[in-house]
Structure 1
């Protein structure tokens, strides 16, 4: 193999210490351009296969292929359709068969280049291919960089709901190239910001205060601020994953806002009416409103969350979702399909205050029903 260029020390590294499954998350600009140097040490032979989607392929695949070739690494790419519909049985089968056609071996590396859909799908394909091959995440959206690329959750959607089929399969490395965020439409960036905000709300009040001050500049394109936000988010996720890799306890905190979000996504048909990160933002606002309603957190906290969503130009309430929504009973039924149901009881992530979230199944159904009924009525 051609001698690879030295890895850029300017990039930040967050280590995820999971014993034999430990890996590094690299955060910086230009990581896609020097991808070969960044992953050469993982490769038993100078060859990788890449799976991406059509939108990302146009924006990022040539740079990735050039970066791999610069280190003497051959590559071949499968380009899937863009969109949430790709994250299903049909494209999973297509991906696995394509990888087998390329004679991918267990020690080889599959590269997932894209957002959360590609990362989840390709990670799951890698998990089941030959009972587990290695893969590298190259997340190209803010949401994927701060959330879905780290922690090893992989999977697909079915007609029963989102992410109900999958596996825990940790990546061998993550390359979070901040420069890739420059190609994102503003709506997609702000949707990803919903996951960034979530970290402050669930466990770091100082980080949330920092986001209140710096969020608008971050959204406008400040690269240094974006890198700081990604790093802190990844640090927090890594800390939680190390404590609870397979979501038996603390890792469920990462689902703040998601019980509401997943029901809303199902209600809108997993369409562009509501992006996942937008649902997370609205879900966080609803979780704090429910917490205040139950007397768990100060009354001003839900207002503060809603104010920050508005300041960031994000969707903050059910009124911000276009089109019809089902009634409160139907939304509660959709929540009942969520992975967080245990013994038939919904688990919610609620809060005692900003930065102090906890998981509970002790939430009266009537309180959730009343909250949803009021939120739906406010749609007019």
Structure 2
């Protein structure tokens, strides 16, 4: 039996035509993006200079002038990570790509890694390491808690791993992990690499890569650097490079193979094509790093700390409490706030968005339904942003009859 052709006299005969027309009609309208103050755990609002940089003309990803921009980014990353290591670059992707690149390149099948797991990012690294056939040992701490240096040193002595993984700023719980006090030296003595996730912390709190003996770290562009999502800055120290170059097997990923990406960034004395670099995103990163350099790291850390103090002065006036009990364990860039009994956390976040155009997030992973999360990162770590957040909490709590919202001063 002869079938009726789909196209008759140039016209498509089928139900998809109407759907295509509707889609085309929507795309003919001008793109509209609402203005939001992004005060959740990320992304934060991008700095206007960073957004403007992305509108500059495109260059070829192998052009000499573009290589110069990449070199300047590497220099900015050395300042940001506080390292003299020449092995800095940006992975094309978000913080997850940085995480996977470090795990895939620094662990071989059968290598043992101790993962200090006190939130969702420890869970994900344990999952990733297992997928790359590493032997995973998990140290667990309750949500909101951190690990003592003694606990970590004892784990190094007991398990003798190839690597120890820590999250400096666990954004799912609001916990800040200490990294000093001889931990890096202990890792060296044990023959273990010290790997650190700084996605929610770098630029907002002190991080001293070389001084603390960190071997590898990565972060994300969209947090304290106030750039759009899409770049995962990382650095490898000399011991990590030795591990990478001395592997007995190739990394089980081509796209994230740091031998190949490193070649593209000039790590090994040459430039080899690996993938098309994210030209406009690298403009944004170059500008974000320039802004950080103009302000200075110590000033950045102080600004984030002051915003944190201002926020909690106002939240406590409302009768709200921090989820992380100890001051020393509290992350200042992603603040976790206990949801009081009888309060609908989701209703408050919806009220904040509808009435203040401000994003306040709920919990994630072990804190889902238990906390609100307020990010104070990059260009958003300012007195003005804090006041908008406090006003949104005050109004949202008052709408639910929270007594503290009635008593708190309007200028808290």
TM-score normalised per structure 1: 0.42
Q: In terms of Rg, which structure is larger?
A: 2
Structure with the larger helix share: 1
TM-score by length of 2: 0.39
